[in-house]
Each structure stands twice: as C-alpha cells, then as structure tokens.
Amino acid sequence: MATEAAERLARQHDNPYFARIDFAEKKELAAGGDGAGAAGETSEPEVIYIGRASLVGEDGETFYIYDWRAPVSSLFYDHEPGPASYDTPGGEIAGEMTLKRQFVIRGGRLRHMFDTDETIGDDILQAVLSEKSDTAMKSIVATIQKEQNRIIRDERHRLIVVQGAAGSGKTSAALQRVAYLLYRYRDSLTAEQIVLFSPNPVFKGYISRVLPDLGEANMRQMTFRELIEARLGRRFDAEDLFAQTEDLAATEGTPEGEARARAVRYKGSEHYFETIAAYLDRLKREGVVFRQLRFKGDTIVSAEEMSRQFYVEYGEDSFGDRLAKLRRWLNGRLTAWVDDQLHEPWVEQAAELMEEEDIQRAYVNVRRQGGFHEDAFDDEDKMTELLLRQAAENAIGPLRRAVKGFRFMDAPETYRQLFVSRSLFVSCAPDGRLPEGWEWMAQRVEDKLGRKELDHEDATPLLYLMEALEGFRKVEGEVKHLFVDEAQDYSPFQAAYLRRRFPRARMTVLGDFNQAIYAQAEDSGGFGGWTRLADPADAAVWRLTTSYRSTRPIVELSKRILRPEDAEGIRPFNRDGEEPRLIPCGDRAHLADLAAADVTALLAAGHGTIGVIAKTAHEAGDASALLKERLGEDVPVTLVSGGSANLPKGVSVLPSYLSKGIEFDAVLVWDASAERYGQERHRKLLYTVSTRALHVLHIYYTGELSPYLT
C-alpha cells in the first residue's frame, strides 16, 4: 500500500495535472422556496484541477486535484466554456464553466499552457499526435475526445459495440474504460474480473503499459488461440488463425483453396452455430459417443454400457444430472474392479515396487481409519490390503482422471459424426439443407481428425460442442466485463461462443469492418454477429469517425483504397505531413535497395519505430533477409512472428496480419503489386497495413501497382 502511494506521488510530482476548469454550480431552489438563492443563479466558481490521480489534503476532504475519472472531470471532456452539466450517482449537476485551461507538465516543469474554447483544444492534440511513437501504447487521458468519453463512461448498456475507423482510438477508449470501471467500482470490481481479448501476442505486449501507467493493475488478456490451446492443444495439432490465413493465401485460386475458403466461411457462420446447437439438443436423446474404460487390454466399462446407462437408465433426468450420475457410476465401477483385482499377481508386484511416499500415505490412511491398536494381526492385514489397493489405484489413476475430466465422452468423435451422416446434418441444419461444399468438408474432417490434426475452422465448433457436453464447467461466471478488440476478425460463431463462455459479463466490443481481413468473418459484414448478442434495449452501437493516428495525407490515401461507400464516414484529424510515396521497383532486389536506403534516412530523421509490412510470413522472412544483407550489423532488423510478444524499437519486419492494432512512425509496405494485392479481398488488408503509419508511408511495388492504389 505504502509503496503504491509513494509510486503514485512520484508520478504526480512529474505530472500533477493536465487541466483546470472553473465551474459555478447552479443553485437549487431550496425546498419551501425561502431561497438560499433563486433558481438559475450560480454559486462562486470553484477551481478544479484534473490529473491522472487525485490529490487530497490531510483532512481527507480538500481536493487539490481530481482524478480524471471523477464525475466532475467529465465537464472537461464533454464541454466548452459556457453552460455545462455532469452526471453524478446522485443526479445531474448543472452550472456554468467559466474557464477551461490545459497544461503540459513534464518532469515537474510547466511546458505549455492554453486556454481553450473547444472541447479539447486542437493545439494540444496536434502536439501529442505529432510526437514520435514508442514501442508501447500510451494513455490518452489528457486529450480524451467527447465521443470517446461517452464510450469510456457508459454504465448503462450491457453490450457496447464500437465501430471505429482505423486509428480512431478504439483500443485507447477500451483501455481508459477499463481504468474508469476499476475506479468507479473500486469496492466491487477487480482487474481479474475484466478480460480483454487481444488479436495476437504482439498486440498484448504493445498495450500492456497503459493501465500500470495510470496506476491500475492490468486486466487479464487472452487470445482466442490460447483458449483453444488450453482445451484442445494436447489432443490435437491445432492450426491457428495465422497458419490458416497463410494456407488460404498459398492455395488461393486453386480448387482446393476455394473449397477451403468456403468451408472456413461456413464454419464461422451462425447457420453452423445453430446446427451445432440443434445437434446438442439431439444428443440429449441419442448420439453421444462414449469411450470405453480400458486397462491393459481389458475393458472395464464398455462404451455400450455407458450409453445404455446414460440414455436408458437415467433417461428421465436432465443432461447435467445424467452426467453427474454417470460419473458416480463409473467411479463405482472402477472401485469394484479394483476390489476384484486386489489379489492378482500384477497388483502384488506393483505393491512391492511402490514408492516410499505411497506406503506412507497408506499407513496414514490406516491410522486415520482407526487402525494400529488392539489387534496387531488385523492391522497388518488392513495395511496389506491398503497397499494393494493403493497400487491398483495408482495404476488406474489415468482412468480416474479421465472420468473426472469427462473424457469418457468422445467429443471429437461425436463432432465427426455430424460429417458422417448426411441425414443427421440435414436434420440439425436450421433450414434443413446441406451447405454448399459439404462433401468436401466431410472428407476434410475425416482426414484431419484421423491424423489428430485440427483445422482452425473446426476448433471453436469442437470446443463449443465439448464444453456444452460437459455442461460448460469452464464457464467464467465471475468475469464481469469482457472486452473484445479487433472484433471484426471474429466469426459470428466465435461471438456466440464467447457469449456462452462468459455468461454474466457485460461486453465492450470494438472493431472496424474495413479491417476485416480474415476469411472466417468475411460473410458477416465484418461484424461477426456481435450486435445480435443482446436485447436491443440493453445494447448501444457507437461510432468513432475521426482518425487520430495518421497524418491527413496518409488518411486520405488510405481512404482511396476502400470502396467509396465504406470510406464515406472516415475523417482525418487535421495534422499535416509528407505525402505518402508510391515507389515503383524493377524487382525484389531493387525494392530491397530502395527500402534499405529509406530505412537509413528515416532513422537518421529521428523516426524511432519503422514497420516493414509484407503480406505473408514467408514474404516477411524474405524481406527481413534482404534488408539485413543491405543494412549490416549497425541497424538491427527484427523479424516479428506469430509467437513474438514484444515489439522492439527500430526496424521491425512483419506479416500484414500481425500488424493489427499497432502503429509505427513510418510504415514501408513491402510490394503492393497487383499480383500481391489484386483481388477484392485484399483491399481491406492493404487498408489495414497502410493505416499503421503515424507520420510516413512508403509503398513499394514491383511490376504493376495494386488496382486499389491507382
């Protein structure tokens, strides 16, 4: 506690406050009308300083500085001088703002001071946005914009969906919202109860400093991949989204590639989610595939016995009760089997070889059960029996654990059944029809599962089926807030799955349909079915249209990449910069020569982070090798891969999909040729890549330029 307070004070010493407002509260007409003041009159203006944390006098009442999250602070974000009001838990407070002043204080010294008429003065925002970037994201509390503030402080809706242009502050708003909620509900909400889904490990590292800098603990961060790995990683060689993307890129245009792309889209759809839901319903009556319990070639309980027990004996009970009963029954069967085996030679041998630790445990058990007193002979028998029992139990430990972990149900095989029988699939599909390409999918599932491999498009459906069969025991009921960033990249299937996995969480979902770059979400208009997850009365859809990250010329160029109707609502923040450059190159070697020379010049000009963004991991590998050859040891070049967790300063080379959510002072697009970015589906990828640039954008191409840039 004391260290925390000391750290906070040290931070405050460096940067105590960033704003001052003078606010005169409107006087209420006192009850009975005898009038402490007439309605409409205001009291003397109070001087209010706003900073990252509050500073309170020793009396515990005098506020020298208000925390930016205090109710009164929203006056600063929402209003210009003049009539103004703010919400408090006790109701609205209205009055008159007579002064609004902004400060830039660094290292305890006042650098700038502005009085302003606008909500948040352009000058300060200009200055902040013109700074060179760091490898980690910074907090934006001193310059939160009105429309961002609305998202940060929304306490009314259970589901908030934010559609925001690239660089409009979605991630920033999400993180300040986490800080806001932790402050507002500090007695009842902990950082552990907030989960943020991040697109990849690079992004995870990139945002991890914002909350600690604001004096708050980081929320839990997860990637969808981690979720899949945790449950299915041991049983399957599970493909991830990036490998899937690479495969689709490599097979593009081939019949195999087209069939897979169709399967990927279908298996991310709501149609498929409903099909699985109907299948689950049917599994209540028949069809769960059980796995026999076997020991050294002997069947202890067969799959047929389990099925009979489950569907016939317990047929009247609910699914959950039947499972609980089946588990008890299986454990009883295992115990009976152990009883039966006690005097078999293998058990005696195993008991002789038992570890000291197990013998001690058996000894303790006998004592606990009241052994070792009157009749020593009896005790010895008891001890021997216990040792034998312990030995047999050790041997069937994996079976006990399988029963505990529900592995007596074969979820993958149950899943596979759906693709074995056409009529079964049809009976579960909501429209009673087979999806296009079903045969191809059926063959693929057969091949892959047979080899213990799992396509990414099958991972969430299998996870859903498995968890639903187990009664969603991994449900995270204690999570109160779920944030999903880059939400356009989730399939409607994944959105529906997350809703079930975090059943009580309020959701804040942020995305940009113009950056939907994965095939799995292509058919959903880029918004993954999120908006349908809550009752419309409990949901809000907010839009962020101003793009703060990039200079005006960069935003203008990137808007031209999009279809006019998609670009319509995007507004650049008015910050000047050099025109983006389109640079023709003879071949890759020439491209590398030019890019290497530009990297050197950009570093010399003081740009601290340079992102060389190629389309695929393979091309990023090539680009990195070519640049390293040319730049030598003096300029370190880092190749960023799917597993990387940190973005270094200097030059990073990365595939397009790993650049999601992050930004660089300068972006060098590696080969935006028509060959690489020629199809409609590449339009959004090119947009995503170009909008990573803060100040400088160079686009190199060999051969013909992508049609989206001409």
**Residue positions forming the annotated binding site for ATP:** 164-171
Q: In whole angstroms, how close is the CB of 628 to ligand ATP at the nearest point? A: 28
Q: Does 166 contact ligand ATP by CB under 6 A?
A: yes
Give whichever of 241 and 396 is closer to ligand ATP, judged by the CB atom.
241
Q: In whole angstroms, how close is the CB of 401 to ligand ATP at the nearest point? A: 43
Question: Would you say how long the chain is, in residues?
Answer: 710
Q: In whole angstroms, how close is the CB of 118 to ligand ATP at the nearest point? A: 13
Among 72, 140, 210, 428, binds ligand ATP (CB under 6 A): 140
Q: Is 128 helix (H, G, I), strand (E, B) or coil?
A: helix
Q: Are 12 and 65 in contact (CB under 8 A)?
A: yes
Part of the chain binding ligand ATP (CB under 6 A), chosen from 3-11, 139-147, 236-244, 352-360: 139-147
CA pair distance 562, 546, nearest whole angstrom: 16
Site for ligand ATP in 639-678 (CB under 6 A): 661, 663
Part of the chain binding ligand ATP (CB under 6 A), chosen from 91-99, 159-167, 632-640, 651-659: 159-167
Strand-by-strand arrangement of the 506-511 sheet: 220-222, 194-197, 481-484, 506-511, 159-164, 539-544
Q: In whole angstroms, how close is the CB of 172 to ligand ATP at the nearest point? A: 3
Annotated binding site: 164-171
Handedness of CA 319, 321, 326, 327 (dihedral sign): positive
Q: Which residue has the tokens 């890759």?
A: 588
CA pair distance 686, 683, nearest whole angstrom: 5
Q: Of 503, 501, 493, 508, nearest to 539 (Cα)? A: 508
Give whichever of 143 and 652 is closer to ligand ATP, judged by the CB atom.
143
Q: Of 497, 508, 509, nearest to 268 (Cα)? A: 497
Part of the chain binding ligand ATP (CB under 6 A), chosen from 135-143, 182-190, 325-333, 576-584: 135-143
Q: In whole angstroms, how close is the CB of 141 to ligand ATP at the nearest point? A: 9
Q: Are 338 and 389 in contact (CB under 8 A)?
A: yes
Give whichever of 319 and 513 is closer to ligand ATP, judged by the CB atom.
513
Q: Does 200 contact ligand ATP by CB under 6 A?
A: no
How many residues of this chain interact with ligand ATP, rule: CB under 6 A? 23
- In terms of Cβ atoms closer than 10 Å to its own Cβ (0-12, 13-18, 19+), residue 262 is middle
Q: Does 300 contact ligand ATP by CB under 6 A?
A: no
Q: Where are the alpha helices (DSSP H) in 485-577?
A: 492-501, 552-561, 564-567
Handedness of CA 268, 199, 564, 557 (dihedral sign): negative
Q: Does 201 contact ligand ATP by CB under 6 A?
A: no
Part of the chain binding ligand ATP (CB under 6 A), chosen from 28-36, 74-82, 143-151, 471-479: 143-151
Give whichever of 180 and 273 is closer to ligand ATP, judged by the CB atom.
180
Q: Of 370, 352, 363, 353, nearest to 386 (Cα)? A: 363
User: By beta-carbon distance, which residue lies closest to ligand ATP?
Assistant: 169
Q: In whole angstroms, how close is the CB of 418 to ligand ATP at the nearest point? A: 36
Q: Does 143 contact ligand ATP by CB under 6 A?
A: yes
Q: Does 167 contact ligand ATP by CB under 6 A?
A: yes
Give whichever of 138 and 452 is closer to ligand ATP, judged by the CB atom.
138
Q: Does 169 contact ligand ATP by CB under 6 A?
A: yes
Give whichever of 166 and 585 is closer to ligand ATP, judged by the CB atom.
166
Give whichever of 177 and 549 is closer to ligand ATP, judged by the CB atom.
549
Centre a 10 Å sphere on the Cβ of residue 694 and count the other Cβ atoms it contains. 25
β-partners of residue 360 are none
Q: In whole angstroms, how close is the CB of 20 to ligand ATP at the nearest point? A: 19
CA pair distance 440, 448, nearest whole angstrom: 12
Q: Does 683 contact ligand ATP by CB under 6 A?
A: no
Among 29, 70, 128, 475, binds ligand ATP (CB under 6 A): 128
Token pair recorded at residue 18: 């960033």
Strand 63-67 to 46-51 pairing: parallel
What's 59's DSSP letter? T
Q: In whole angstroms, how close is the CB of 674 to ligand ATP at the nearest point? A: 25
> Within a 13 Å sphere around the CA of 202, how many CA atoms are in the beta-carbon half?
22
Q: Does 691 contact ligand ATP by CB under 6 A?
A: yes
Q: Are 94 and 26 in contact (CB under 8 A)?
A: yes
Site for ligand ATP in 473-512 (CB under 6 A): 512
CA pair distance 98, 83, nearest whole angstrom: 9
Q: In whole angstroms, how close is the CB of 129 to ligand ATP at the nearest point? A: 6
Part of the chain binding ligand ATP (CB under 6 A), chosen from 88-96, 166-174, 301-309, 330-338: 166-174
Strand 293-295 to 159-164 pairing: unpaired
Give whichever of 42 and 223 is closer to ligand ATP, judged by the CB atom.
223
- In terms of Cβ atoms closer than 10 Å to its own Cβ (0-12, 13-18, 19+), residue 662 is buried
Q: Does 548 contact ligand ATP by CB under 6 A?
A: yes
Among 51, 164, 611, 642, binds ligand ATP (CB under 6 A): 164
Q: Does 153 contact ligand ATP by CB under 6 A?
A: no
What's 42's DSSP letter? B
Part of the chain binding ligand ATP (CB under 6 A), chosen from 125-133, 215-223, 336-344, 441-449: 125-133
Strand 237-238 to 453-454 pairing: parallel
Q: How many Å from the N-terminal Cα to the C-terminal Cα in the chain?
A: 59
Q: In whole angstroms, how close is the CB of 166 to ligand ATP at the nearest point? A: 4
Q: In whole angstroms, how close is the CB of 23 to ligand ATP at the nearest point? A: 22
Give whichever of 77 and 273 is closer to ligand ATP, judged by the CB atom.
77
Q: In whole angstroms, how close is the CB of 132 to ligand ATP at the nearest point? A: 11
Q: Does 350 contact ligand ATP by CB under 6 A?
A: no
CA pair distance 631, 694, nearest whole angstrom: 23
CA pair distance 703, 586, nearest whole angstrom: 7
Q: Are 576 and 552 in contact (CB under 8 A)?
A: yes
Q: Are 448 and 455 in contact (CB under 8 A)?
A: yes
Q: In whole angstroms, how close is the CB of 550 to ligand ATP at the nearest point? A: 8
Q: For 162, list phi and psi in degrees, rounded to 5.
A: -115, 115
Q: Does 144 contact ligand ATP by CB under 6 A?
A: yes
Q: For 169, list phi and psi in degrees, rounded to 5.
A: 95, 25
Give whichever of 665 and 671 is closer to ligand ATP, judged by the CB atom.
665
Q: Does 526 contact ligand ATP by CB under 6 A?
A: no
Q: Of 456, 513, 527, 464, nearest to 261 (Cα)? A: 456
Give whichever of 207 and 263 is closer to ligand ATP, judged by the CB atom.
207
Binding residues (CB under 6 A) for ligand ATP: these are 125, 128-129, 138, 140, 143-145, 148, 164, 166-172, 512, 548-549, 661, 663, 691
